[in-house]
Structure formats: C-alpha cells, structure tokens
Amino acid sequence: MRGGRPVRVDSVLSGLLEKHGVKKQVERMNVLDLWAGLVGEHVAAVTRARSVSDATLIVEVRTSAWLMELNMLKRDFLERVNEALPDVPLEKVVFVLAETE
C-alpha cells in the first residue's frame, strides 16, 4: 500500500523487474507461449520454442531436413515474432536440432 491505498501487484512487479534490468527479457519470454500460434500447426508440430537468451530465440527442430527448411525462412519467423511483441523485439531466431532420447 502506498499512501494508505492498495497498489496493483502487476505495477509493483513491473517496477521491480525494471529496477533490476530484467523487464524486457521477461517480456520476451512470452514468445515461448506464442510460438505455436505464430508459426502455424505444421511448423509447430516439428518445433519447440526452447528459450530466449538476450534478444535471441532458440527453437528446437525435430529433424535435420526441417532444420534446413526453417533456416531458409528465419527472417519470416523473426518478423512474425516481432509483430507479436513490438515493445521487446528479438534480433534473431536460431534453430537447433532437438536432442533425441
């Protein structure tokens, strides 16, 4: 409470993240949940947005054939992501072959 009035938790959290310099990175992490909707069901079926490191999205791909195909379409995927998250744009998308178990 500030000045005897309740304060919204989201505004407190936003201020705390900003103070510690991680607000943009936390907001960029939303792409992990948005990925499947941004790329469509066919691409989503063979990929998994794994992590965001600084301004780079790391995406796992099931097969090397898909990896090659998606690497040719990187720019398109980056544009889709940045349209969805215009306040915290990413600089690049990196596709990596998923580890098999």
Number of domains in the chain: 1
pLDDT digits (tens, 9 = 90+) for 61-88: 999 999 999 999 999 999 999 999 999 9
Confidence of residue 46 (pLDDT cuts 50, 70, 90): very high
Is the CB of residue 90 less than 8 Å from the CB of residue 53? Answer: no
Residue 28 tokens, joined: 């960029």
Q: Is residue 6 in some structural domain?
A: no
> Which is higher by pLDDT, 36 or 9?
36
User: Percent of the chain scored above 90 by pLDDT?
Assistant: 64
What mean pLDDT is predicted for residues 17-36?
78
Beta-bridge partner residues of 57? 52, 93
**How far apart, in whole angstroms, are the C-alpha atoms of residue 97 and residue 63?**
6
Q: Name the average pLDDT for the chain.
A: 87
pTM of the model: 0.79
pLDDT, position 9? 73
What CATH number has the domain bearing residue 59?
Answer: 3.30.300.180
Q: Is residue 12 in some structural domain?
A: no
State which H helix or E strand residue 28 sits in: helix 23-28
Residue 81 tokens, joined: 């992501």
**Which amino acid would we find at residue 67?**
L
Judge whether residue 15 has pLDDT over 70. no
Structural domain for 54, as ranges? 24-97
Q: Is residue 93 in some structural domain?
A: yes
